[in-house]
């Protein structure tokens, strides 16, 4: 499905979502953390720290720091790959799936009812 927005409309939508999330008082993610989380939930698994770093063109420590925070929020979990103990698999959680779904709902609601400038 193609969505056609002018730059100003796209930015207003992003602002509306950011304001809604800020007002909700839930833990918020940095843009980098959100990109990592959405990659984990929208791209097919398996996900590894090495693979996420390559996909997002960032270092493995950047991914590890983000996963530390998201793990504390129970949005993702990490486990050793039993087939290759050198790899750490990043797995989805129920809490994370609900977080991503709710975030999608906020985007849809903001797109349907944009705020006034």
Q: Considering the chain, what is the average pLDDT of its residues? A: 92
Kindly state whether residue 1 falls inside one of the protein's structural domains. no
How crowded is residue 12: how many other Cβ atoms within 10 Å of its Cβ?
A: 18
Number of domains observed in the structure of the chain: 1
Kindly state whether residue 39 falls inside one of the protein's structural domains. yes
Question: What local confidence, expressed as pLDDT, does residue 104 receive?
Answer: 95
Distances (CA, A) of 20 to 2, 59, 66, 80, 95: 24, 31, 22, 37, 20
Its domain, for residue 35, covers: 7-112
User: How buried is residue 105: exposed, middle or buried, by Cβ count under 10 Å (0-12/13-18/19+)?
Assistant: exposed
Question: What local confidence, expressed as pLDDT, does residue 27 receive?
Answer: 83
State yes or no: pLDDT of 115 exceeds 80: no
Kindly state whether residue 17 falls inside one of the protein's structural domains. yes
Residues 6 or more apart in contact with residue 69 via CB below 8 angstroms: 33
Which contiguous run of DSSP H or E holds residue 76? strand 76-80
- Write out pLDDT tens, residues 56-100: 999 999 999 999 999 999 999 999 988 888 888 999 999 999 999
Q: What is the CATH number of the domain that holds 11?
A: 1.10.10.10
Question: What local confidence, expressed as pLDDT, does residue 116 receive?
Answer: 61
């Amino acid at each position: 499905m193609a969505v056609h927005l002018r730059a100003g409309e796209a930015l207003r939508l992003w602002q509306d979502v950011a304001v809604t999330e800020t007002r909700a008082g839930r833990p918020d993610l940095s843009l980098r953390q959100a990109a990592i989380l959405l990659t984990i939930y929208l791209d097919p698994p398996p996900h590894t720290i090495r693979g996420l770093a390559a996909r997002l063109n960032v270092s493995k420590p950047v991914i590890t720091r983000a996963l530390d925070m998201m793990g504390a929020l129970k949005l993702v979990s990490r486990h050793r790959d039993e087939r290759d103990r050198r790899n750490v698999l990043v797995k989805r959680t129920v809490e994370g799936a609900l977080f991503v779904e709710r975030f999608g709902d906020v985007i849809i609601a903001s797109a349907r009812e944009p705020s006034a400038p």
